[in-house]
Amino acid sequence: MEDDMQTPGPGCRGLLPLFLFGLLLLFPAGCSSDPFLHKKGRNCLKLEPGRREGRINGTLVYLTTPAGAGGEVTGTDRKTVIEPLLSMTPRLKRPLRTIVIDPGHGGREIGAPGTLHQEKELNLALARKLRAELEKRGCRVIMTRDDDRFLPLNARGDLPGERDADLFLSIHHNSARDKTVSGAEIYLLTPDGVPSTNDPADSRPPAVPQAARSLWNDMILAREIQSRLIEKSGLPDRGIRFARFRVLVRSACPALLVEAGFISNPEEEKKLADPAAQQRTAEAIADGVDAFRNRAKIGG
Ligand SMILES: [Zn+2]
């Protein structure tokens, strides 16, 4: 019924630009009409109503507070999760050079027990491979321990400040009562006043003073590492999470704790102890650090 369609008269034409302008106000550039979709350039974060889980270009990330029914997020999540993940530009005062690697546990503290191995051994084996990979990429590496010795948490977490380091990476392997649980996850420090990912009741201030630094860089580095770790290890993605681990609280520079897989899962334990698999994981983490360094804006 084309004949019934009215062509706008000359008076209507002037309204078209106004209409388009109105649309622009409703949907500004870079925003989507979907309140659960946050996009900027190639970065796309998808949230879900009532849930803390989101996906940034496929990688799982947790909000500190579930998204609202209409896509509302807290100011903390906007500042700590959404804005850094959409920007992916680290802000550094100087070029990244010195990295502290912290192989978790040691000595009398074995960490999680596996069937064939102890967590402390796997942590040190992976940390040594990571050191070699980071050194190949031109980084200076300091280890909190390079043998089987006990070291208090405070000594580990204080080392980056004492040695004026640029990054802190704590290496661990996970454990669960359910022996089928599997996958890799990565932690950054929980911001003030909100609960940690694995402990929704914990929104108390930590017993030690919270780091007075922004978590902008920590979140970007976590994504660079986690996406590569999942791709190279082939393990399930358990996401970027928040915790008030003492070593993260005390670190003077961006700090992450990597849980590289479940030693409590007998099948996964075999993979985690395989030197070739450890090498792939070390390369994935080092590549993540390299990408972070290359994207960084220095100064300011
Ligand atoms: Zn551990």
Question: Please, is 181 exposed, middle or buried when counting C-beta atoms within 10 Å of its C-beta (0-12, 13-18, 19+)?
Answer: middle
In a domain, 17, yes or no: no
Within a domain: residue 36? yes
C-alpha 300 to ligand 1 mean position (Å): 36
Q: Determine the distance separating the centroid of ligand 1 and the alpha carbon of 293, expressed in angstroms.
A: 27
The answer to whether residues 161 and 215 belong to one domain is: yes
Domain end position, chosen among 61, 87, 113: 87
222 and 268 share one domain: yes
Let me know whether 184 and 115 are in one domain.
yes
In this structure, are strands 237-243 and 167-174 parallel, antiparallel, or unpaired?
Answer: unpaired
Residue 221 resides in a domain: yes
Rounded distance from Cα 20 to ligand 1 centre (Å): 56
Q: Note whether 83 and 136 are same-domain residues.
A: no
Q: Are residues 261 and 164 in the same domain?
A: yes
Taking the CA atoms of residue 150, residue 156, residue 163 and residue 92 in that order, the dihedral angle to the nearest 10 degrees is: 150
Query: What does 101-129 look like in DSSP terms, one character per residue?
Result: EEE--BTTB--SB-SS-BHHHHHHHHHHH
Residues 82 and 96 in one domain: no
The string of DSSP letters for 149-163 reads: ----HHHHHHHHHHT
- The total number of structural domains in the chain stands at 2
3 lies in a domain? no
pLDDT in the model for residue 166: 97
Hunting for tokens 């660079």 — which residue is that? 224
11 within a domain of the structure (yes/no): no
Could you give the CA distance from residue 88 to residue 241 in angstroms, rounded to a whole number?
17
Neighbours of 273 (CB within 10 A): 18
pTM over 0.75: yes
Residue-number span of the structural domain to which 63 is assigned: 30-87
Same domain for 122 and 222? yes
pLDDT of residue 218: 98
**Residues in the chain with pLDDT < 50?**
1-13, 22-31
| Predicted confidence (pLDDT) per residue in 50-64, tens digit | 999 999 999 999 999
Are 194 and 285 within one domain?
yes
Same domain as 155, residue 101:
yes
Distance in angstroms (rounded) separating the CA atoms of residues 122 and 135: 20
Instruction: Report yes or no on 7 lying in a domain.
Output: no
- Whether 158 maps to a domain, the answer reads yes
Whether residues 135 and 184 fall in one domain:
yes
Using the Cα atoms of residue 118, residue 176, residue 220 and residue 236 in order, give the sign of their dihedral.
Answer: positive
Instruction: Tell me, yes or no, whether 80 and 212 share the same domain.
Output: no
Distances (CA, A) of 214 to 86, 228, 269: 16, 24, 35
**Shortest CA distance to 179 belongs to which of 118, 106, 261, 262?**
262
Ligand 1 centroid, distance to 109 Cα (angstroms): 10
What pLDDT shows up at residue 193? 83
**Residue 212's pLDDT is what?**
62
Q: Provide the CATH number for the domain around residue 215.
A: 3.40.630.40
Domain boundary among 38, 57, 87: 87
User: What's the gap in Å between 170 CA and the centre of ligand 1?
Assistant: 9
Q: How far is the CA of 12 from the centre of ligand 1 (A)?
A: 69
- pLDDT in the model for residue 206: 55
Do 80 and 96 lie in a common domain?
no
Instruction: Decide which of 66, 87, 108 is a domain's last residue.
Output: 87
